[in-house]
Amino acid sequence: MDPIKIEGTPKTPTVNFNAEKGNIEIKGRSIPENSIEFYKPLVDWLEEYMNNPKELTEVDIQLEYFNTSSSKCILDVFKKLEAIYKGGNEVVINWHYEEDDEDMLEAGEDYQSIIKIPFKMMEIEE
């Protein structure tokens, strides 16, 4: 399975999905013109990854900002990961947020209440 590597821009996050290592990373800002178009290849990749996931899939989410349409797409990504978790594989989501960013901490907690996967809230010290 080919990895996905997308360089971040001022409107889109940096993305690194690596099936061989079981690592998934999304970081930066997520305010693309068309969120569905941006996230569809990621969701499709996870759909394929679900067929043969690693024992442990480690997910790092470090967003400084995302818009409403991105939040729905991020939830779609988490739902695929939840299916992997329910299939008996270990999935850990590391939700990174800056120490004074209450909104990003709350966003992580909101996802945690919806998705039944262990979340680790990781404060980034400035």
Encode pLDDT of 8-30 as tens digits.
999 999 999 999 999 999 999 99
Q: Is the pLDDT of residue 92 over 90?
A: yes
pTM: 0.95
**Which CATH number belongs to the domain containing residue 22 in this structure?**
3.30.750.24
* pLDDT for the residue numbered 125: 83
Q: Give the three-class secondary structure for 86.
A: helix
Calculated CA dihedral for residues 97, 67, 46, 7, nearest 10 degrees: -80
DSSP H or E run through 66 = strand 56-66
How many domains in the chain? 1
Q: Is the pLDDT of residue 35 over 80?
A: yes
Q: Which domain holds residue 34?
A: 4-124
Across 49-70, average pLDDT? 97
> pLDDT of 59-68, one tens digit each?
999 999 999 9
